[in-house]
Amino acid sequence: QVQLLESGGGLVQAGGSLRLSCAASGHTFTSVTMGWFRQAPGKEREFVAVIGSLGASAMYADSVKGRFTISRDNVKNTVYLQMNSLKPEDTAVYYCARGRPGTYLTYALAFEYWGQGTQVTVSS
């Protein structure tokens, strides 16, 4: 059974940093892409970042490019999201997701398993 468990969310002031982690189990971690999405109150879930199966490639939403970095440790079966220069508009529940085999895409339908989410709140 595939499980994704996020951690690392919290409350931070604008300009601060947080690192989210997502521990994966129940599947062959190295064979799939992994991604992060977020959902703010009253808004649709949106793509944040995706990383290829070997960690050699990544894509980012324009809103986070240059501030967020996605990475993965294929020994620890964990994907990370380093978030720097946080802004109040980054406030959302952040979700880790596992891509469907053979995909490297940025839209939600390309991901088949999701974590429960972790809250990130950025105060101004």
Helix, strand, coil distribution of the chain in percent, nearest 5: 5, 50, 45
CA distances (Å), 102 to each of 33, 49, 61, 97, 122, in order? Answer: 8, 17, 21, 15, 35
The yes-or-no verdict on residue 95 having pLDDT over 90 is: yes
- Ramachandran angles phi, psi of 80, nearest 5°: -125, 155
Q: Determine the pLDDT at residue 83.
A: 98
The yes-or-no verdict on residue 112 having pLDDT over 90 is: yes
Residues in the chain: 124
Q: Determine the pLDDT at residue 30.
A: 82
Can you tell me the distance from the alpha carbon of 43 to that of 18, in angstroms, rounded to the nearest whole number? 22
pLDDT in tens, 21-73: 999 998 878 889 999 999 999 999 999 999 999 999 999 999 999 999 999 99
List CB contacts of 66: < 8 A, sequence separation 6 or more: none
Q: Determine the pLDDT at residue 29.
A: 81
Residue 82: strand pairing partners: 19, 69
Of 71, 89, 90, 55, the closest CA to residue 22 belongs to: 71
Can you tell me the distance from the alpha carbon of 88 to that of 84, in angstroms, rounded to the nearest whole number? 12
